[in-house]
């Protein structure tokens, strides 16, 4: 994975960022890797605090609901200024309401206006750079989500705006994960895009014994910070997995066994085929969701072993460093931090584009 930032190694980073809706710190981690100074992460979820503070060195965690947060208060708390060319505001708001996944949107209704709240801070600070990352649905519903009016405001206020849906697999992440990304730049007239990777990475490049992941069985509990832990499964589920072909197999391996076939799939061999499916060694992983540790919630079975992905395997496929420390009261809590995160490697490549753009005008 490349690191082609055009800056002297002993220079202090000049671009400074505030990461709204920071979660467990995936975006902040990648921005720091790119050489950007992260001042703070803002989130209303207290469960993110310990993980964020343990990994994002030098940044404050501000527990706040953006609906109640005032721009002037943030200005004084972080000692940041308006119209600062070196300021980057990042907004990766929770995106369940605009997701294509067919789930109950009732709990997510409040989140549908988070982009508009983020825009309020952008309008106030008028930073040199703005980054928005979200599900592709915000672009498909750009008027309803507030994206159309936000882009219009940015353009009217002299920002050069890039926005598109990118697959993180093209940017050094061993995972097919399509995300909407906006990078706005008012420092130069250049349209900035995330920096693509030279090669694409696969599951084999990322997990497995050669990458430091020992063989384990379902139910294994890793008491160290490495967290190579995985939930247990029933004997019936184990029997099913033993019939799923190694390296990319799916539930068709047990569909003709009356003891193993699930009633909900009888006569529906081509529906939800990823359920109980294995990852392929030589392909990118599917999107790592918040349920990646469950064999029945997608193609999350280990390519060879009869179990789901471990917590650390999911985090590594998301490109979190292997020494990244996650905190939570349950495996589900930690998996949510991981699955909801922006892959740090992708965030780094967004940050690199900004760093290179800024450094070009300093030379």
CA distance 38 to 27: 10
Do 26 and 342 form a contact (C-beta atoms < 8 A)? yes
Is 95 a known active-site residue? yes
Longest dimension (CA), the chain: 70
Do 190 and 211 form a contact (C-beta atoms < 8 A)? no
Given the residues 22, 48, 92, 95, select the one marked as catalytic. Answer: 95
Active centre residues (catalytic): 95
């Amino acid at each position: 994975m490349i690191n082609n930032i055009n800056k002297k190694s002993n220079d202090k980073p000049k671009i400074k960022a505030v990461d709204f809706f920071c979660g467990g710190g995936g975006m902040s981690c990648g921005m720091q890797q790119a050489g950007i100074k992260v001042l703070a992460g803002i989130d209303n979820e207290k469960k993110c605090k310990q993980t964020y503070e343990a990994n994002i060195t030098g940044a404050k965690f501000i527990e706040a609901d953006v609906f109640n947060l005032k721009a002037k208060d943030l200005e004084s708390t972080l000692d940041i200024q308006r119209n600062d060319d070196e300021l980057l505001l990042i907004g990766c708001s929770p995106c369940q309401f605009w997701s294509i996944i067919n789930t109950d949107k009732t709990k997510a209704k409040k989140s549908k206006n988070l982009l508009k709240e983020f825009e309020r801070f952008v309008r106030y600070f008028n930073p040199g750079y703005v980054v928005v990352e979200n599900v592709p649905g915000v672009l498909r519903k750009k008027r309803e989500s507030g994206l159309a009016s936000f882009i219009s405001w940015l353009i009217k206020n002299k920002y050069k705006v890039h926005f598109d849906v990118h697959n993180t697999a093209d940017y050094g992440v061993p995972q097919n994960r399509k995300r909407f990304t906006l990078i706005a730049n008012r420092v130069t007239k250049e349209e900035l895009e995330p920096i693509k990777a030279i090669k694409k990475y696969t599951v084999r490049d990322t997990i497995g014994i050669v990458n430091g992941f020992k063989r384990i069985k379902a139910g294994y509990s890793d008491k160290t910070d490495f967290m190579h832990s995985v939930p247990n499964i029933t004997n019936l589920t184990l029997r099913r997995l033993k019939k799923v072909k190694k390296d990319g197999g799916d539930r068709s391996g047990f569909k003709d066994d009356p003891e193993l076939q699930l009633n909900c799939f009888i006569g529906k061999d081509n529906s939800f085929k990823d359920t109980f499916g294995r990852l392929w060694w030589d392909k990118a992983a599917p999107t790592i969701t918040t349920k990646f540790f469950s064999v029945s919630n997608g193609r999350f079975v280990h390519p060879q072993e009869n179990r789901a992905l471990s917590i650390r395997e999911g985090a590594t496929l998301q490109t979190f460093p292997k020494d990244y420390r996650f905190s939570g009261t349950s495996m589900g809590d930690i998996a949510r931090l991981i699955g909801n995160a922006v892959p740090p490697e992708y965030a780094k490549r967004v940050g690199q584009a900004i760093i290179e753009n800024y450094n070009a005008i300093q030379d």
